[in-house]
Amino acid sequence: MTESSQIPQSTRSEPIFGRLLTAMVTPFAANGEVDEQKTAALAEELADRGHDGLIVCGTTGEYSTMTDDENERVFRIVKEAVGERVKIVAGVGSNDTAHTLDLAARAESVGVDGLLVVTPYYNKPTQAGVQAHFTTVADAVKTPVMLYDIPGRAGIPISVDTYRALAEHENIVAVKDAKADFASASAVMAATDLQYYSGDDGLTLPWMALGAVGLVGVTTHVAPEKFRELIDAVVAEDLATAQRVHQELIPVIAATMTRVPGCVAAKQILSWQGRLDSAFVRLPHVAPTAEEEKLIRADLKNSVVADTLIR
């Protein structure tokens, strides 16, 4: 059996943003302001614990409830803290193309390595509008762009034909897929050089089996070493290890992704782990209820790596 028949080319190729990325929470102090010291410290810790890159001010980073100045400041804090060690991808998406262009320019001035641009949400444009939005942003910058396909939030998917057209743009290089349409994604991967990242923590193994290069995760805050082990096992073609770690992570993923929104759960667990001073989230997010906290703790205790997760 030849090497090319063993594992998809996109998985074997060295990905532009690395393989293990976290969509990083933005630490807030108890008064709701950005905690700049904790932001830098969390970025440093994630870099220390096996990350290749960080998504800064994405959905989990609560960018939509932050001012543009706050977003730019967080881009800069994280870039200065770990930009020499890991790739920094700035979330600059909006449903307003002009606003996205402004955020992209701010991020590019900081010197980030990539721009995460989500499908325009709420407006529900046609596919021609989606293509025009992404192309306009990519035309305006020199920084590589990662498309973010999440119809559950945006209301619309990116179609296969739109992907094929966008892949022709030299600045559009990657996709964070939270759609889980494996057939469509396979068609795109077969026809283009776009590098796919799983946008669903629990589907990392099947995504990479299809040819995705890695993961942009949230649960990766909580158990980064286990996700590193999973991804490395897939790249090494060690299916048995990858399956074992995938199963070990199921209750951890449930704790982080199914009880309350990801940013809420991740901050709560990080505070239990002693890694954040405050689990504060901005409205309209709220802290978990007592019952939700019990469910999250129960999930974590069901994990075979429970002793490493919370104190």
Tens of pLDDT, residue by residue over 250-280, are: 999 999 999 999 999 999 999 999 999 999 9
Q: Are 108 and 141 in contact (CB under 8 A)?
A: yes
What residue ranges in the chain does DSSP mark as E strands? 20-23, 53-56, 87-91, 114-118, 145-149, 172-177, 195-198, 214-217
User: 105 Cβ partners below 8 Å, 6+ apart?
Assistant: 140, 141
pTM for the whole structure: 0.94
Which carries the bigger pLDDT value, residue 254 or residue 14? 254
Instruction: Identify the band that residue 309 occupies on the pLDDT scale cut at 50, 70 and 90.
Output: confident
Q: What is the pLDDT of residue 13?
A: 63
196 is catalytic: no
pLDDT > 60? residue 229: yes
Q: What is the pLDDT of residue 241?
A: 98
How far CA 154 is from CA of 15, 21, 165, 179, 303, in Å, comes to 26, 22, 20, 11, 32
Which carries the bigger pLDDT value, residue 3 or residue 24? 24
Among candidate residues 63, 87, 148, 196, the one labeled active-site is 148
Q: What is the pLDDT of residue 311?
A: 61
Among candidate residues 79, 176, 226, 267, the one labeled active-site is 176
* Mean pLDDT confidence for 209-237: 97
pLDDT > 80? residue 307: no
Sign of the torsion angle spanned by Cα atoms 280, 284, 286, 292: negative
176 is catalytic: yes
C-alpha dihedral over 11, 15, 20, 25, to 10 degrees? -140
Q: At 234, is the secondary structure helix, strand, or coil? A: helix
Nearest to 68 by CA among 89, 88, 87, 92: 92
Each residue's pLDDT tens digit, 172-182: 999 999 999 99
- The total number of residues shown for the chain amounts to 311
CA atoms of 212 and 120, how far apart (whole Å)? 23
Q: What is the pLDDT of residue 2?
A: 36
Q: What tokens appear for 119 in the block?
A: 């499908």
User: 219 Cβ partners below 8 Å, 6+ apart?
Assistant: 201, 227, 249, 252, 253, 255, 256, 257, 266
Q: Are 42 and 51 in contact (CB under 8 A)?
A: no
CA atoms of 5 and 209, how far apart (whole Å)? 12
Each residue's pLDDT tens digit, 156-174: 999 999 999 999 999 999 9
Instruction: Identify the band that residue 5 occupies on the pLDDT scale cut at 50, 70 and 90.
Output: very low
